[in-house]
Amino acid sequence: MTVLATAVVLLAAVVAVHLLFTFGLVARVRELQEHGGAPARHTSVPRPGTVVGPFSVTGVDGVPISEADLDGPVQVGFFQVGCGPCRMLSDALVAAPPEARFVSMVQGDPDAPEATERLVAKLGVLGRVALIGVDDPVLSAFEIVAFPTLLHTHSGVVTASGTRLDDFAQATGAPAKVA
| pLDDT digit string, tens, across residues 97-140 | 988 899 999 999 999 999 999 999 999 999 999 999 998 999 99
Dist CA 71 CA 101 (whole Å): 10
Residue 30 has pLDDT above 90, yes or no: no
| H-helix or E-strand spanning residue 30 | helix 2-34
Q: What is the DSSP string of 127-173?
A: SEEEEE-TT-HHHHHHT--SSSEEEEEETTEEEEEESSGGGGTT--S
pTM for the full predicted model: 0.72
Per-residue confidence band for 151, with pLDDT thresholds at 50, 70 and 90: very high
Sheet containing 101-107: order of strands = 128-132, 101-107, 73-80, 149-154, 157-162
Query: Is the pLDDT higher at 25 or at 102?
Result: 102
Residue 39 has pLDDT above 50, yes or no: no
Least confident of 32-36, 61-65, 70-74, 109-113: 32-36
The conformation of residue 60, written as its DSSP 8-state character, comes to T
Say how many CA atoms lie within 13 Å of 95 toward its Cβ: 7
Dist CA 43 CA 26 (whole Å): 24
Least confident of 27-31, 81-85, 148-152, 169-173: 169-173
User: β-strand 101-107 against 73-80: which pairing, if any?
Assistant: parallel
Residue 74 has pLDDT above 70, yes or no: yes
